[in-house]
Homo-oligomer: A and B are copies of this chain.
Amino acid sequence: MNTPASNHRRASALTRERIIGAAVALLDESGEPGLTFRALAQRLETGAGAIYWHIDNKRDLVLAACDLFVGPAVQAPADDAPGARIRAIAIGLFDAMEAHPWMGAALAVAAGELPLVRILEALGQQVRALGVDSASQWSTTQALMSYILGVGGQHAARSQLARQQNLQRTPALTEVAQRWAELDADEYPFTCSMAAQLPHHDDHADFMAGVDLILSGIAQRIG
């Protein structure tokens, strides 16, 4: 019989899932420029055009790759209090972006797409559970989401840069901090002083401090 099982021309059939898996591997290895339909086709032992039978375009492919990690990240334990669940979601996304730095840039330009909606929904439900009045729920949720994606993405970009450039030098001294330190101290007093502190900072703790700042702003409004 000519069943799929008896036909072993490839390791397995070309599916949307296998394509996304291979795309993640390429993205993790060499970032967004490393994801190419030609490289993808070669790794999947197929033609470049075959991928288009399962995937609409590159943008959708990258978003589907993001979604693979966004889904689990926003799944907070259901028994916690809203504040704790928001913190858990923030940590989940921060860690996902650190492990897969290409997510930051992809999510920053994906307004309204599925991975963003998942994050919006997860945070919005907790904002509502906190008791924020309905007129403020939108801006409150937007504040949390933008903070998490913005700061998480910038941290991911920084640590990726540090990983690439100074492999043997003290890893704390990021390339960005060095460039900032060379700025004119009269024109950029704040940035210069931050450049000195940046390498000693605990990025994860700073990230959570910002989350708590927003959460305490929310708490004040609820009274």
A117-140 contacts to B (CB < 8 Å):
117, 120-121, 124-125, 127-128, 136-140
Q: Is the pair B218, A213 in contact by a Cβ cutoff of 8 Å?
A: yes
Tell me if A108 is interfacial: C-beta within 8 Å of chain B: yes
**Is B151 within 8 A of A209, CB to CB?**
no
**A147 to nearest B CB, angstroms?**
5
Residues on the B chain within 8 Å of A112, using CB: 158, 161, 175-176, 179-180
**A95 smallest CB distance to B (angstroms):** 17
- State in angstroms the CA–CA spacing of A197 and B133 once bound together: 14
Which residues of A139-176 are within 8 A (CB) of B? 139-143, 145-147, 149-151, 153-154, 157-158, 161, 175-176
**A216 in the interface (beta carbon within 8 A):** yes
Closest residue of chain B to A146 (Cβ to Cβ) is B150
Copies of this protein in the assembly total 2
Q: Is A220 an interface residue (CB 8 A)?
A: yes
B residues less than 8 Å from A143 (CB atoms): 147, 151, 210, 213-214
CB pair A145 B150 closer than 8 Å:
yes
B210 touches A221 (CB 8 A): no
Given A109-B105, A128-B190: A197 and B138 interface contact (C-beta under 8 Å): yes
Q: What chain B residues lie within 8 Å of A151 (beta carbons)? A: 142-143, 146
Q: Tell me whether A207 and B117 are in contact in the complex, defined as CB-CB below 8 angstroms, given that A146-B147, A154-B146 are known contacts.
A: no
Check: A68 CB closer than 8 A to any chain B CB: no
A151–B139 Cα distance when bound, in Å, is 9
Would you list 28 pairs from A and B whose C-beta atoms are within 8 A, ordered by A residue? A111-B158, A112-B161, A112-B179, A121-B189, A121-B190, A121-B191, A124-B191, A124-B194, A125-B189, A128-B190, A137-B190, A138-B206, A139-B207, A140-B213, A142-B151, A143-B151, A143-B214, A145-B150, A146-B146, A146-B154, A147-B147, A147-B150, A213-B214, A213-B218, A213-B221, A214-B217, A215-B217, A217-B220
Chain A residues near B (Cβ < 8 Å): 104-105, 108-109, 111-112, 117, 120-121, 124-125, 127-128, 136-143, 145-147, 149-151, 153-154, 157-158, 161, 175-176, 179-180, 183, 187-191, 194, 197-198, 201, 206-207, 209-210, 213-218, 220-221
